[in-house]
Amino acid sequence: MCSNEASFSAACGFPPDPRLGPRDEGVLLAAAAARVAATVRGTPPPPSAAALGPLARRPVYGAFVSLKRGKQLRSCCGYLGEALELSQALDHASVRAASDDPRFPPISRDELQHLRIEVWVLWGFRPVAERGPARAKAIEIGRHGVQIAAAAGRGLLLPGVAREHGLDAAGFLEAVCGKAGLPADAWLSDATTLYLFEGRSAAAPLGRFLATRPPAWAGQFYPRDHRAIGAMLDSWEADQRPRPRPGPWLAALVPHAGWQYSGRLAFDTLAQIDFPPQTIVFCPRHTGLGPPWAVWPGAAWEVPGATIAADGALAARLSAEIDGLMLDDTPHQEEHAIEVLLPMIARLAPHTRVVGVAVGMRGLEELLRFGDRLAEVVAALPQRPLLLVSSDMHHRAAEAETRRLDERALEELEAADPAGLYRTVMEDRITMCGAPAAVIVLESLRRLAAPISCRRVGHATSADAGGGSANCVGYAGLLYGPASSATTEEPGPRSGGERAAG
């Protein structure tokens, strides 16, 4: 039997510290929340491995998932083993917590929004070599969890229990005896075996990962009534024919102004895409609220007459693998740049799951690193998602100047040159709100599929829709694909030519 704390795990087959960082916490919570919710709702629970990404195969001693309503424990179940993969431990613990804690009735659907979820990942399992009262001295409150085993029963308490209840080491040991159904002083006896382990926890309201974002801009940027929305979409769809057959484009840029100004161009662009199962929409951070880069962590997007599924697992994975990208709903609550596209996506691709990423301005190197990491995540997925940039072009200039500056930016966009776009926008003071998002996506494309072909679907200004020529905003629709395949179809109505970029 091994007795040295530093060497026991390695020598006896139990995993050491899996080295989880703060940004891994959101991934753990999102993965566990998705399985808890699916189990309660009676739908197939998604495997955690997809959300965890590289974390999935890290060896751990076990995992626990607890659910609380206020201060009241509602469920707490775990899954332990000598050397488990993290995804395996989390999968089992999440399902058990949702439905299989014998102390409580199963979690109901109505409870989900009222619960708080906590995930513990455990490692460093070792026996306590000390005997009698000296056993208490082996415990470091806040660091160690404890397990006791005897012929009459066994029990386990997580590292957080002692601090949560204000227990000292002796009190902690008495509590685990009670958990095991043993006398309070059983921990002093040589007839019991005592084990310590360590852990890391993360907690958040469960509803954060189950939330549906309600419409914030219906009636302002697009119609409030679902019938009026349907009528506009019907007119655009009819007017689009004949049009190019939807193709497997890798990325696109579409405008996000009010539908009366840019809706038709956005729809014309999106209608040429054969949407994959997942779409990542990158938009500006117009409100300035929340972290500079934030991915929506919720479960769905709602607009009048439609609900569009999100993808919490992919959102969590992006957050874990891209430095600075936070799981946070704050920038998305009042953001219009994704919302105005959702009725169109619901019409054209009801099957696609939409992940929303709000991007604030940063330096070129930071944006390029974001794009590089995005490319690595996308390349590892079973099927590549569509990368969609939501951006208007230059804002608030006379029409001629708007068109001139837009063409400067479009030259770099059509060349698929992320650094060139950044420099042009900064040097010419082009107020393209989604320029940081476009830099990220262009850099990702450069890593994924060079050379790239760009098809210009169209360009317009607000003056074209009767907005006046003295104070214009520009709009563009662009499609991106590999040069080897994107040029096989003729450009459709209102389309420009195609340009390949190395």
Q: Where in the chain is the domain with CATH 3.30.700.20?
A: 5-206
Q: Over the Cα atoms of the chain, what is R_g?
A: 27
Nearest by Cα to 86 from 65, 70, 105: 65
Grade residue 12 by pLDDT with cuts at 50, 70 and 90: low
Q: Do 215 and 339 meet the contact criterion of CB atoms below 8 Å apart? A: yes
Hey, is 483 helix, strand or coil? helix
> What DSSP state is assigned to residue 480?
E
367 has pLDDT over 50: yes
Strands 293-295 and 395-397: unpaired
Tell me the C-alpha distance between 487 and 502, whole Å: 14
Q: Do 320 and 427 meet the contact criterion of CB atoms below 8 Å apart? A: no
Average pLDDT, the chain: 91
Q: Where in the chain is the domain with CATH 3.40.830.10?
A: 224-501
Q: Do 216 and 333 meet the contact criterion of CB atoms below 8 Å apart? A: yes
pLDDT of residue 500: 45
Tell me the C-alpha distance between 352 and 355, whole Å: 10
Q: Which CATH superfamily is domain 5-206 in?
A: Hypothetical protein ph0010; domain 1 (3.30.700.20)
Tell me the C-alpha distance between 65 and 36, whole Å: 9
Answer with the residue of higher pLDDT: 137 or 80: 137
Tell me the C-alpha distance between 476 and 472, whole Å: 13
310 has pLDDT over 50: yes
| Single-letter residue type at 24 | D
Tell me the C-alpha distance between 375 and 412, whole Å: 20
Q: What is the pLDDT averaged over residues 374-393? A: 95
Hey, is 140 helix, strand or coil? coil
Could you tell me the end-to-end alpha-carbon distance of the chain, in angstroms, rounded to an integer?
62
200 has pLDDT over 70: yes
For CA atoms 240, 242, 243, 247, give the dihedral sign.
positive
pLDDT of residue 450: 78
Q: What is the pLDDT averaged over residues 71-94? A: 92
Q: Do 469 and 410 meet the contact criterion of CB atoms below 8 Å apart? A: no
Q: Do 113 and 192 meet the contact criterion of CB atoms below 8 Å apart? A: no
Residue where the block lists tokens 């040029």: 487
Q: Which CATH superfamily is domain 224-501 in?
A: LigB-like (3.40.830.10)
The percent helix, strand, coil of the chain (3-state, each to 5) is 40, 25, 35
150 has pLDDT over 90: yes
Grade residue 9 by pLDDT with cuts at 50, 70 and 90: very low
Tell me the C-alpha distance between 222 and 260, whole Å: 8
Within 8 A by CB and 6+ apart from 395, the residues are 431, 433, 473, 474
What would the pLDDT profile of 219-266 be if each residue is shown by its tens digit? 999 999 999 999 999 999 988 556 788 999 999 999 999 999 999 999
Tell me the C-alpha distance between 258 and 274, whole Å: 24
Tell me the C-alpha distance between 31 and 46, whole Å: 8
| Single-letter residue type at 51 | A
484 has pLDDT over 80: no
Least confident of 19-23, 285-289, 377-381: 19-23
Hey, is 33 helix, strand or coil? helix
